[in-house]
Amino acid sequence: MSFLSKDGLSLGPGPAFLYSSIPKINISRVFVAINPLIVVYVHDPMASVFASLYRFLTDRYARNNLKGMTQIIGYLTFNGNCREAMQFYADCLGGELTFQTIGDSPMTENMPWQMKECILQASLTRGILRLLATDCVPDKGLVKGNSISLALNCSDEQEIRTFYDRLSAGGQPTHPLENTFWGTMFGGLTDKFGIHWLLNYDKNHKQ
């Protein structure tokens, strides 16, 4: 947990980002608390400034402090439409999207020209959220099943509703958003690329 104070923002063992040069800052309320890594206290007139700072710091924290940590990351396989799918997820969820094509890799010399524009690896990163994908289908072909879903934990009710609406566009809602007996808002869907999603917002979680 990290806080803005009159001395600046400290991300645990990371660096402090000072803002003491900004005059008359009254730290009066919580403006944004999107994930458990950071809680930012700001004064209303400075909201847009600190919102931008928050997004920068969460991305920086994730990149600098989560490297080398044991993680499970979703890795999706598509059959030639990886770029389209990952752009769709970036539009839905936000974040930084990068692609490496087969033509841009050392593999290009051994591949037919038709595969040059296929995606060797795509990466979508937003803070601690990371999703990887590829067009490289195994020799046995691409077999879609229903045994795995991507679970997306959301930060508030507006976010889960927004993500649910965006991800289900052109797809199939399988479980409408509803309040559950265990205290969360939950919903499920299959997007237009055949990927299964489970969305969850824990109303009892205090950040």
Over its C-alpha atoms, the chain yields an Rg (Å, rounded) of 20
pLDDT at 17: 36
Residue 206 scores a pLDDT above 70: no
Q: How many alpha carbons fall within 13 Å on the CB side of residue 81?
A: 9
Name the CATH topology of 72-143.
2,3-Dihydroxybiphenyl 1,2-Dioxygenase; domain 1 (3.10.180)
Tokens in use for 21?
Answer: 């040069």
CA angle centred on 106, ends 88 and 97, rounded to 5°: 20
Tokens in use for 18?
Answer: 């000072």
DSSP class of 47: H
Q: Which has the closest alpha carbon to 14: 64, 50, 68?
A: 64
Average pLDDT over residues 14-35: 36
Domain boundaries, the chain: 4-65, 72-143, 145-207
Helix, strand, or coil (residue 191):
coil
pTM over 0.85: no
Note the pLDDT tens digit of each residue in 139-163.
888 888 888 999 999 999 999 999 9
Tell me how far apart the alpha carbons of residues 52 and 24 are, in angstroms, rounded to a whole number: 19
**27 compared with 63, residue with greater pLDDT:** 63
**Adjacent-strand bridge partners of 49:** none
**Given pLDDT bands bounded at 50, 70 and 90, which one contains residue 87?**
very high
What CATH class has 145-207? Answer: alpha beta
145-207 and 72-143 share a CATH fold: yes
